[in-house]
Structure 1
Amino acid sequence: MTLRLPTPGGGLRGYEPRREPAPAVLAPAGGGAAGAPRSRTVHAAAHVVVDPFADTTPDGPAAVDWEATLAFRRHLWSHGLGVAEAMDTAQRGMGLDWKGAAELIRRSAAEARAEGGLLVCGAGTDQLAADPARPASLAEVRSAYEEQLALVEDAGARAVLMASRALAAAARGPEDYLEVYGHLLRQAREPVILHWLGPMFDPALEGYWGGADLDRATETFLEVIAAHPDKVDGVKVSLLDAGRETDLRRRLPDGVRCYTGDDFHYPELIAGDGRHFSHALLGIFDPLAPLAAEAVRVLDTGDEAGFRAVLDPTVALSRHLFAPPTRYYKTGVVLLAWLAGHQEHFTMAGGLQSARSLPHLARAYELADGLGLFPDPGLAEDRMRHLLAVHGVAP
């Protein structure tokens, strides 16, 4: 039955939903490490599911539906992907506070042990109050990082040192980044992943690593790594600049991995250039998990063309979800989780389900449906009809 989808120009057009999902969507290859891809380490940055019946406010703490949230992580592990927990995809700093993130890390770490799943967790400084009149000091930033790093390590997970809004506000130049990160790396029990998140994902991170000049910022970033290569498992680069990422990964010390966070160019970055390649830690692999896992397993066989044949068609959906303002990509991610049946509602922490327009959401549905991402296309169609009806689109 034809769906009437809104267009950006204000009209409606017909769309015929597909009737069968892609085969990979119905056939997980196995859970945990046993089913993990071999040639690349692949993490999906996972979203959180909130309780739609909780009486919350946009600026209050999120009420997380723990069972639904952990069930989604089991879904990711069932396809052999790792989970990147409490990252920006989980609305860190955009609805999920540090108290909620800490509980999320503890619960996910316990679930990972039970499932045999790969897990990394974000450690940042978001317990510090955001007060422009009194920015946190460097000592307070170090202390906040230390608290979160200790919690992640005590939970038994590997840490991702996330970019810090407080550090961006407090740092006077590259030397302050060198001092703070050097201090943290010296005390880390296990090698960590360093995260460079660009301002398109969070405007408060403009000038990270000590200035707006990305070439100079890259030198500072590499200087941090070169001083402590034994404490850096890898770097996650989220700048949406494939050329800068390929240049950076060529300059990493031996044994330090590059995890792409580029949701625009991930197929070519993961495939590599014959000498270097990127692993993956991506928000788009939250909705793309089945296809992403299938693609990397094809790459495991040495079939790069087959890998690209699976993954290249997904880029249009990813670029749509991550279109400016990029930080609101989470809305499309949660929409697709609801349409796919991974949760029973389209509600987000902080009310962010309203952060994208109806034409944007309709196009996300159309692109995902075209890829065969929905295990039950009829359920996705029915839910999309209800969403359209709420917005005044008559059947």
Structure 2
Amino acid sequence: MGQILNLPRQDGSLYQYQFQDMNPIEVPVGQFQSRVAFAAAHVVCDPLGTNDPLKNATIDWESTLAYRRHLWSLGFSVAEAMDTAQRGMGLSWQQAKELIKRSVKEARAVDGQIACGAGTDHQTPRTDITLEEVEAAYEEQCEFVESQGGQIILMASRALAACAKGPEDYRRVYGKILNQVSQPVILHWLGDMFDPALEGYWGHKDVDEAMNVCLSIIADNADKIDGIKISLLDADKEIKMRRLLPNGVKMYTGDDYNYPTLIQGDEQGYSHALLGIFDAIAPAAAAALHALDKGEMNRYNSLLEKTVPLSRHIFQEPTFAYKTGIVFMAYLNGHQSHFRMIGGTESARSIVHLSELFVMANEAGLLVDPEMAIRRMKLALELSGITS
């Protein structure tokens, strides 16, 4: 019988939860064959750093890189310096440059695949910023990523969203940048539920109209585009766009609500993956993707369907606070020694939310060392005045 913890309910009352002992998930060795799967990786802050944690937090580089090695060992590619790494939400461009440099070097050492975010976040979004300034910012970051040997993920730009007057401005900026890159990039369409500053991206608030603009940019530059990752949390919109992409351009799902069915696909195609939730559910996702390679659909579905409630919980509104749940999972599983985050973002979710996360992670078989997970959950509870 598992240990019993006192956990809080939404109404503030406590109940006794009995930890369920689960068999560990066995992950086959090797790369995935039928899908490209990027895990967007988080960063680990240094809890003893003396820099201002809200403006210039210190990064624990060894723990940060160790987690990337963990993801590579499971067969994932790593999506570096993305929003999961708190890019533009605690991680500055200067820190992102160091992260990209170190991670690309680490990828070479372990023969791991990596792609890195290039955006405009060193430019402060403002209504008087010019398109030329946005283009220069993109050029600087793209040049840096390519100089390090990384594939570019062309991130959505808050600065462009702030100054673009309409679709033609997006066509101009993306056309110019894509014309200059030396290798095909992954475009990144991040919905405003992840970043409210990106509302109306591609020049339209209506998603279907925005999609048409994005598709026209892809069609005009298909030879420079490996694929597009969309994070709209709308499976029907993703499937619609997936079927309209030019031949050879991949759809990378960023849908942390509906990823199992989107990756599995249908008679007309499937999505590859570039997901933040893969950071938190890496063993289950890796085992499921290996099962998909073998055509073992029952195992694929049984592994992933248990993770969906957890993912929907972690990515619940406000969606941009999902990073807190991702890092809490890494803490529970011993991938870092503490539950501190750059920008103090560990406080972005309540102890009730984290307790529910703990239960869902247990039920999905994602807590690899039960004794450690229970001990660390109890520490988090005690900090909120709850003792067992």
Contact conserved, 1:29 with 1:78, CA < 8 A, in 2? no
CA apart distance, 1:20: 4.1
Please name the residue that 2:154 is paired with.
Answer: 161
- Aligned positions, number: 386
- For residues 32-74 of structure 1, give each alpha carbon's deviation from its aligned partner in whole angstroms, at most 9, with x where no partner exists: xxx1110000010000000001123353112110000000000
What are the within-5 Å matches in structure 2 for residues 91-130 of structure 1? Answer: 91-130=86-125
CA apart distance, 1:213: 1.3
CA apart distance, 1:305: 2.9
Please name the residue that 2:248 is paired with.
Answer: 255
CA distance in 2, matches of 1:198, 1:306: 31
Contact conserved, 1:21 with 1:376, CA < 8 A, in 2? no
CA distance in 1, matches of 2:154, 2:128: 20
Cα pair distance change 1:182/1:250, threshold 3 Å? same
- Amino acid in structure 1 at the alignment position of 2:217: V
Matched, 1:210 2:203: yes
| TM-score, reference length from structure 1 | 0.96
Contact conserved, 2:186 with 2:228, CA < 8 A, in 1? yes
Pick from 264, 267, 271: which aligns with 1:278? 271
In structure 2, list runs of 5 or more residues that go unmatched: none
- For residues 241-281 of structure 1, give each alpha carbon's deviation from its aligned partner in whole angstroms, at most 9, with x where no partner exists: 00000000000000000000000000000000122100000
**SS class of match (2:79):** strand
CA distance in 1, matches of 2:255, 2:104: 26
What root-mean-square deviation, in Å, do the aligned CA atoms of Structure 1 and Structure 2 show? 1.1
Contact conserved, 2:306 with 2:363, CA < 8 A, in 1? no
Please name the residue that 2:63 is paired with.
Answer: 68
Contact conserved, 2:25 with 2:287, CA < 8 A, in 1? no
- Amino acid in structure 2 at the alignment position of 1:183: K
Identity of aligned residues (%): 53
**SS class of match (1:209):** helix
Please name the residue that 1:49 is paired with.
Answer: 44
Runs of 4+ residues over 6 Å off in structure 1: none
Please name the residue that 1:85 is paired with.
Answer: 80
**SS class of match (2:15):** strand
CA apart distance, 1:19: 3.2
CA distance in 1, matches of 2:171, 2:53: 36
Contact conserved, 2:190 with 2:232, CA < 8 A, in 1? yes
Please name the residue that 2:359 is paired with.
Answer: 366
CA distance in 1, matches of 2:7, 2:142: 46
Report the more deviating stretch, 185-194 or 371-380.
371-380
Contact conserved, 1:20 with 1:376, CA < 8 A, in 2? no
**SS class of match (2:278):** coil
CA distance in 2, matches of 1:12, 1:135: 52
**SS class of match (1:194):** strand
Contact conserved, 2:77 with 2:112, CA < 8 A, in 1? yes
In structure 1, list runs of 5 or more residues that go unmatched: none
**SS class of match (1:275):** coil
